[in-house]
Structure 1
């Protein structure tokens, strides 16, 4: 990949918290059109690294470079809002910088959350909230889409639907995607490169290469079945929460 497509570069990142070394000598690059996934066990520093890369947390040493005027759409793992604040899903999405109603309704339709628009955000399930956060990130028309555990609280069918959607979003927006997961098996079909970390980078490369490495097997154990791309053929379409999308099903079933 060329320097012209480079969106983000981290060099020699180190961070210590309360005598614990959280990040050690982290180096990575992310280019436009690339899907890069960080995997590792809970507490290995994935979310901390994301926050460092986005400038939300300081480091002890190292450097982070961003392309000039880089637009980032960030879907955080957690977003705490004032619980007493009366705010519907539509109202929340309208808070996105520069968001137009036409774009809001377009992403609402695309992500299958039409029935949620008038709901109070405090009443959403975990999976519903994840989809609303994704819509908000996409409204920014990002050069870089950052997804921190995007399938958290989403059922299995919804997870597969979302991971199939991510490469399509990458192609449509022409953006780079930086994603965090705790399990390589779930993201196999939706990523170009994997960084396996546990405070430091244990191994990196194509998912097939990483899954067969000794470092990966030490962290996750030997799996009984090989990693495979998820395929599923059916005569209906699902929303990201796993429910059948009757409108899309009707359209795709037309002769």
Structure 2
């Protein structure tokens, strides 16, 4: 096993007197897809901020591989929606970007034709793709996604997950995804981590779906089930007619 891209040992984070995270051991390796799930207030975003470096640990330490490049896809855009701003201009903030690099990032994110559009006029799904494109400009070793599919409908979320899977295959980047969508985890996840102030359980999606802790935390309303989005590879020709149907049958069959 090569050195992890990032590793946390005994990580604790406190706000005021309250402990947001306690004694978390976490690592992610090159090319790995890891999903973190947990209820609101479980410390998911705190973990992400600690990894990005915008949150100081109260205890423990975080080591990053030398020269680690991070791409961060925030949950929402902190920008005035009334600002006249094209996608192309937005991709050039805060660092100037060549037109070719911007275009390549948009293509990788699956929205090749929107560089001249106004950011304010984009749909939620398009905006997510633009934020993804912006993160890809960093040519990340590790792509961090904070609840990136919040507000997307299920086909939209499934399509977004497939895009992330393809990106991992194309670029070899690792992916750390924080998901509020407890019972929808990308099946390509190598590991799922259940967080509730500490790590309750972790393992492959199939293992976590059966874990008693997972069922206790998320069992109500989800029957403890983890719906897994399967990426169907048909010789990599994506048949438009087939995009949305089969995912639920697959999830059941895989369960």
Normalised-by-shorter TM-score class: 0.7 to 0.9
TM-score, length of structure 1 as denominator length: 0.84
CA distance in 1, matches of 2:85, 2:240: 33
- Residues 56-205 of structure 1 aligned to structure 2 (within 5 Å): 56-83=54-81, 85-95=83-93, 97=95, 99-205=97-203
Residues 104 and 56 (structure 1), Cα distance of their counterparts in 2 relative to 1, 3 Å cut: same
For structure 2, which runs of at least 5 residues remain unmatched after alignment?
245-255
How many Å apart are 1:118 and its aligned residue?
Answer: 2.4
Residues 237 and 141 (structure 1), Cα distance of their counterparts in 2 relative to 1, 3 Å cut: farther
**Alignment match of 1:43 (pick from 41, 56, 79):** 41
Q: Quote the RMSD (CA, aligned, Å).
A: 2.5
How many Å apart are 1:224 and its aligned residue?
Answer: 4.0
Look up the match of 1:236: 240
CA distance in 2, matches of 1:238, 1:101: 34
SS in 2 for 1:136: helix
CA distance in 1, matches of 2:94, 2:164: 20
How many Å apart are 1:126 and its aligned residue?
Answer: 2.6
Would you say how many aligned residue pairs link Structure 1 and Structure 2?
Answer: 238
Look up the match of 1:216: 214
How many Å apart are 1:10 and its aligned residue?
Answer: 0.4
CA distance in 2, matches of 1:101, 1:199: 43
Look up the match of 1:2: 2
Residues 106 and 188 (structure 1), Cα distance of their counterparts in 2 relative to 1, 3 Å cut: closer
SS in 2 for 1:118: coil
CA distance in 2, matches of 1:210, 1:112: 31
Q: Is the 8 A contact 2:71 2:139 kept in 1?
A: yes
CA distance in 1, matches of 2:241, 2:101: 22
TM-score, length of structure 2 as denominator length: 0.84
For structure 1, which runs of at least 5 residues remain unmatched after alignment?
243-255
Moved more, 76-85 or 146-155: 76-85
SS in 1 for 2:187: helix
CA distance in 2, matches of 1:225, 1:54: 31
How many Å apart are 1:238 and its aligned residue?
Answer: 9.3
Q: Is the 8 A contact 1:98 1:140 kept in 2?
A: no
How many Å apart are 1:176 and its aligned residue?
Answer: 1.2
CA distance in 2, matches of 1:97, 1:237: 39
